[in-house]
Chain A
Amino acid sequence: MSIVTGASKTGKSSLIDIIDFCMGGSECHVADGVIRRFVSWYGVLFDRGDTGIFVARRNPPPGQSRSPDIYLETGDKLASPDFDKLTKNITVDALEAFLTSALGISENLHSVPEGQTRQPLSANVRHALLFSLQDQDEIDSRRVLFHRQSEPFMPQAIKDVLPYFLGAIDEERLRRQSELDNARRELRKLEKREAQRDAVESLSLSRTNDIYREAQAAGLVGSGPVPPIEQALAVLRAVGPAVDEGISEPDVQQPLGQLRAERRRIRAQLAQVREEIRQAREIEEAAGGFMDEVHEQAARLLPIGLLPNSPSEPHSCALCGSELHESIPSAEEIRSTLEEVGGQLEKVRREVPRLQNLQVDLIQRQAAIEAALRENQRQIDDLVAKEGQFRSEQDARLRRARTAGRIAYFLETLPANEDDTNRDGALDALRKKIGALAELLDPDEVRDRLASIVNVIGAYMSEYSDRLDLEHSGSNLRLDIRTLAVVADTIDGPVPLNRMGSGENWVGYHVLAHLSLHKWFRQKRRPVPAFLIFDQPSQAHYPPERDSNGDVSILQDADREAVYKLFKLIADVAAELSPGFQIIVIDHADLKDPWFSGAVVERWRGEALVPPAWIS
């Protein structure tokens, strides 16, 4: 145990920030003030027993928090180098890697459980440091157990690395994990290829089905359901290129032309016959009417036959006996008229039946011509149909040829599937391997180990708590890795730190937890810095404002007792774990007990981190 005691504002608390910065911190958190103003380099000397590591970083210029200048020195002798030796000789990243390796943090990777998106986390010195520092705001926090736990994303990072630092995950496991990851990657690759292959295959299958049906439609293969793919492909391969069967086009145009010419002739005949029928009918009708009239005329002339030819023309008037100045018609004259009329009548009488016969004849002829026209139409239709049939046959032939071409192309482009069995075997083997690895990497196993470790640490905590007067002293205490808190398992159920009252409990449990953790770390030689810094562990009983030269005698008995017990525990544990372990206590309390005063390495009363001489 190394105690730095002193008054406020002497730079005690800045020690943690300086150590953090020199151990690869990206930013310098040293508060603005004397230190930042009058210090040019911060340096930390690490004692690794056999060797020493000196790290120095240049104080960032005012107003800035970063500085790239780092000086690293390692060597047998444990001594700070001269100021003028300080110069940049390493980068921040390299420093981090160096310290990580120096700590003995092996290759490790916290693999992220499936379904989570964060980057896999590899524990390094920066993570290890989290368990070694407790600044004055953290040590009495009811909510935060670890250093920087309140910063964003840090709780998860702490949870991720804790199993490693606790040693729940061994190196073998990590090797297996990476193997499993590789196997899984490989499997994914194979499965992806497989999926593609399957897709191609199902595509091939559906394409095969399509083309098979097409071939059926074109009459290239037999009908019926599509057989299994191999069989279907065999059938399709057997199709071969279409052969032009060489059916010549039937000569339709010429007979069609003849038929049409004939049709025109027939039609002309029909038109003529129809015209003649019309004529005949019209004449017959007119002649009939005429005949009736002539018949009437004849009827009126007919009685002349009853009279003899007159021997003499009448010359005197029958009424008055005077000379007739107009001759009256003679019987002869009338008789000749009757003859004329009779002749006409005779002619018409002969004509009408002739016209009627002609009509009968013509109508029969018309029917024959119409029949011929129908027959002609039928023949034309036949020819057209024949031509249509030829065309559809030709179309079918073309379709067959086209289909055959498509089949050939399809077969050419069919994806080869030569390593079917091989592929399945590889996939199976890989799956088995993954299964085995996964079994080996059974997260339950990690959980079990972790639980066991946590139990051990809890036991340490419970044991140490006996030496402090805390609320749940004597209860079963444990570190809850899930919540990053100390939990007291009481008969009334678990009580987490944040539900415990009073700052003394909070500080006490922080101290207990960290002491117990480091006891485990040391026992198991875990790669965590073998130091622990507590800033102001007495603050719950001896707040800085009551500081009186570090004299705790001013406190009430209980508080004084508590402070004593706390420091005593720290001193005891430091003694228990040494050599190879250091607890640095920064506090204004300054106990008079020899075990305490013997441990004080700095007493800044009137003095400070930055010597007053520098300031003036």
Chain B
Amino acid sequence: MVAHTAADSASGYLYQCRYALFAALERSAREPGLMVRVEVFDDVSFDVDGTPRELIQTKHSRKASPMTDLSPQVWNTIGIWTKRVIDHPEELGRTALTLVSTASVPNESGLAFLRPPGMGRDADKAHGFLLQAAATSKNKDVAWATTLFLDQGPEVQLQILEMITVLDASPNIVDVADRIRERLRYTTRDNLGALIERLEGWWFNRLAGSLKTGKGATVAVTDIDAKVHSLQESFQPTRLPIDHATELPMGEVTAKLERRPFVEQLRLIAIGPTGIEAAVIDYFRAGRQRSRWMREHLLDREELSNFRDKLLERWRRKWGIVESKLVRKPSEDEMIGLGQDLYEKICDECVPIREVSEPFLTQGSYHILADSGKIGWHPTYKKKMQEARRTAKDDTDAALG
């Protein structure tokens, strides 16, 4: 039983974060599409569009003692990976599982035979060693892992081991900093130290929040790249004449969507593509969810109308305020502002149906109502929607004619 001290876990955590940064920097040049994910428990993973490419377990040891086939760390890791492979059989043989440890592993051990190719890798031999280690392990803390591993068929065991690469005697927490420095040396020549310091600061910040909540953090490797370059530029004595105008999202996705009244309603109050995209998703998801519940008979038919009435009631109250402001004859811009205020308030709402309270359900249901014209955002939405419908109809007629 290894008692983990606070210093151990702190250095382990720092190591994990630093290693993730280092690994991300290393991979960013080769595969800009990667996302790096840092989990709470020693995990660093890389994925492309949600498909994991590489899972890394980092083990930082402040002691020089070697890591053996019987080390609890090893079996915890193998156990986690075995479980993962069982849960995600599609990853079998696809995802690279990397165990990074600052400790070294003894030669002629299962772990040693899992070193990268060219360093004596022999998964078959490793299999034999690790089977024996699993069978002889008496550590109760990792019994779940050894048992799980032993429960798999030999083919699966071997497949898992084939996926595993052990990088022992890896750079430790200090060395990793040097490696990062080395890695970035070619990016910038000046102020390297200050740059790395700020990059790490930014990186730890980026991870800290997500890790505190226990959810892990996902960052695109190009974000790191971008940060490096922005830091580097901030250190330059004179900024180069570069067009810093940020490009607006092209809204290509929303452009592919059908003209739906609720979308038109949003356009009336100048909601941008991102807002529209979110609204569309909410609309679809809410529509699907409501229908599904109905079909599965999880909701009684009056519950949906009761829910709708609740939403209408809330909207109506806010609408009353909007109307009261119309007596001042606001300009179109002001009216758009009013509509946006209303929409913003509605977006903050989350009305439960049965005990379920999901924002998308509330928002989507509002959009369903807006789609039917029962509610709207722009103070003159009724008139404007009618005009729009007429225009659309004329267009259709013209097209038919």
Contact of A283 among B31, B222, B242, B281 (CB under 8 A): B281
Are A289 and B222 in touch, CB under 8 angstroms?
no
Restricting to A261-293, which residues have a CB under 8 Å from any CB of B? 261, 263-264, 267-272, 274-277, 279-280, 282-283, 286-287, 289-290, 292-293
User: In the assembled complex, which residues on chain B have CB atoms less than 8 Å from the CB atom of A373?
Assistant: 32, 222
The yes or no answer to A355 lying at the interface (CB within 8 A) is yes
Find chain A residues with CB under 8 A from B26 CB.
none
Residues of A within 8 A of B226 (CB): 264, 267, 271
B220 touches A274 (CB 8 A): yes
Contact of B315 with A by CB under 8 A: no
In the assembled complex, the CB of A111 is this many whole angstroms from the nearest CB of chain B, namely 72
Q: B247 interface residue, CB < 8 Å from A? A: yes
Most chain A CB neighbours (cut-off 10 Å) among B186, B222, B243 = B222
Beta-carbon contact of A268 and B233 below 8 Å: no
Interface hit among A70-78, A301-309, A346-354, A450-458: A346-354
Instruction: Tell which of B31, B252, B258, B281 touches A286, judged by Cβ atoms closer than 8 Å.
Output: B281
Please, which residues of chain A bring their CB within 8 A of the CB of B260?
Answer: 347
* CA gap between A350 and B260 in the complex, in Å: 13
Given the contacts A294-B287, A347-B260, A260 and B33 also touching, CB distance less than 8 Å: no
Q: Are A272 and B247 in contact (CB under 8 A)?
A: yes
Contact B258 A290 (CB under 8 A): no
B-chain residues with CB within 8 Å of residue A271 when the two chains form the complex: 220, 222-223, 226
Nearest A residue to B252 via CB reads A276
CA distance A59 to B249 in the complex (A): 132
For the complex formed, measure the closest distance between the CB of B192 and the CB atoms of chain A, giving whole angstroms: 13
Contact B257 A293 (CB under 8 A): no
B242 touches A351 (CB 8 A): no
B288 touches A290 (CB 8 A): yes
Per-position 1/0 for B265-289, Cβ under 8 A of A: 0000000000001001101110110
**Contact indicator A355/B253 (Cβ below 8 Å):** yes
Within 8 Å by CB of B29, from A254, A283, A362, A377, lies A377
State whether A268 touches B249 (Cβ < 8 A): no
- A384 with B186: CB separation less than 8 A: yes
CA distance A269 to B247 in the complex (A): 8
Q: Does B400 contact A (CB under 8 A)?
A: no
**Chain A residues closer than 8 Å to B233, beta-carbon distance:** 260
Contacts of B310 in A (CB 8 A): none
Query: What is the size category of the interface that chain B forms with chain A?
Result: 35 or more
Task: Give Cα distance in the complex from A260 to B223, angstroms.
Answer: 14
**A358, B252: Cα distance in complex, Å:** 8
B257 neighbours in A (Cβ, 8 Å): 283, 351
CB closest residue in chain B, given A357: B256
Task: A263 to B31: give the CA distance in the assembly, Å.
Answer: 15
Q: Is A219 an interface residue (CB 8 A)?
A: no
Interface SS, A side: helix
In the complex, the answer to whether B250 meets A351 with C-beta atoms within 8 Å is no
Cβ–Cβ contact B291 & A294, under 8 A: yes
* B229 is an interface residue with CB less than 8 A from chain A: yes
In the complex, the chain A residue whose C-beta lies closest to that of B246 is A268
Asked if B47 is at the interface of the complex by the 8 Å CB criterion, the answer is no
Q: Which residues of A contact B230 (CB under 8 A)?
A: 264
Q: Looking at the assembled complex, report how far the CB atom of A280 sits from the nearest CB atom of chain B, in whole angstroms.
A: 5
Residue A297 at the B interface, CB < 8 A? yes
Say whether A370 faces chain B, with CB atoms less than 8 Å apart: yes
Q: Report B302 CB to chain A, min CB distance, Å.
A: 14
B30: nearest residue on chain A (CB-CB)?
A: A374
Q: Are B277 and A279 in contact (CB under 8 A)?
A: yes
Counting chain A CB atoms within 10 Å of each CB, the highest count among B226, B258, B283, B284 belongs to B284
Residue A366 lies at the interface, judged by CB distance under 8 Å to chain B: yes
Q: How far is the CA of A282 from the CA of B230 in the complex (A)?
A: 30
| CB of B264 to closest CB in A, whole Å | 13
User: Cβ of B285 and Cβ of A286 under 8 Å apart?
Assistant: yes
Of the candidates B29, B33, B220, B256, the one whose C-beta lies within 8 Å of that of A351 is B256
- Taken together as a complex, chains A and B put the C-alpha atoms of A536 and B238 apart, in Å, by 119
B240 within 8 A of A: yes
- CB <8 Å contact, A381 and B284: no
In Å, the complex CA distance between A264 and B243 comes to: 10
Tell me the complex Cα distance, A434–B263, Å.
Answer: 122
Contact with B along A355-380 (1 / 0, CB 8 A): 10010001000100010011001001
Asked if A296 CB lies within 8 Å of chain B CBs, one says: yes
For the complex, is B374 an interface residue (Cβ under 8 Å from A)? no
Q: In whole Å, how far is A367's beta carbon from the nearest beta carbon of chain B?
A: 8
User: What is the minimal beta-carbon distance from A276 to any residue of chain B, in angstroms?
Assistant: 5
Complex Cα–Cα for A268 and B230 (A): 12
- Across the interface, do B287 and A290 meet the contact criterion of CB distance under 8 Å? yes
B284 contacts A283, CB within 8 Å? yes
Given contacts A290-B285, A347-B258, contact A270 B32 (CB under 8 A): yes
Q: Beyond A270-B222, A354-B256, A358-B253, is A286–B280 a contact (Cβ under 8 Å)?
A: yes
Evaluate contact between B253 and A283: CB separation under 8 angstroms: yes
- Least CB distance from A556 to B in Å reads 105
**Please, which residues of chain B bring their CB within 8 A of the CB of A370?**
31-33
Q: Is B95 in the interface zone, CB < 8 Å from A?
A: no
Smallest CB–CB gap between B265 and chain A, Å?
16
Known: A354-B256, A370-B33. A283 touches B280 (CB 8 A): yes
A222 in contact (CB, < 8 A): no
Question: What B residues does A598 contact at CB under 8 A?
Answer: none
Contact with A along B24-45 (1 / 0, CB 8 A): 0000010111000000000000
Rounded to whole angstroms, the CA-CA distance of A270 and B222 in the bound complex is 9
B181-236 contacts to A (CB < 8 Å)? 186-187, 220, 222-223, 225-226, 229-230, 232-233
Answer yes or no: A257 CB below 8 A from chain B CBs: yes
Q: Is the CB of B287 within 8 A of A282?
A: no
Interface status of B84 (Cβ within 8 A of chain A): no
- Report chain B residues within 8 Å CB of A380: 187
One of A269, A272, A276, A296 near B291 (C-beta < 8 A): A296
Q: A289 CA to B226 CA in the complex, in Å?
A: 36
For the complex of A and B, the 7 pairs showing the least CB-CB separation, nearest first, are A286-B284, A293-B291, A347-B258, A290-B284, A257-B240, A289-B288, A261-B242
List 16 A-B residue pairs with CB atoms under 8 Å apart, sorted by A's residue number. Answer: A264-B226, A264-B229, A264-B230, A268-B247, A271-B223, A274-B220, A276-B249, A279-B253, A283-B277, A283-B281, A290-B284, A293-B288, A351-B258, A355-B253, A373-B32, A381-B186
The chain A residues found within 8 Å of chain B, CB to CB, are: 254, 257-258, 260-261, 263-264, 267-272, 274-277, 279-280, 282-283, 286-287, 289-290, 292-294, 296-297, 347-348, 350-351, 354-355, 358, 362, 366, 370, 373-374, 377, 380-381, 384
Given contacts A261-B243, A280-B256, A348-B284, 4 further A-B contacts (CB under 8 A): A283-B281, A286-B285, A290-B283, A350-B258
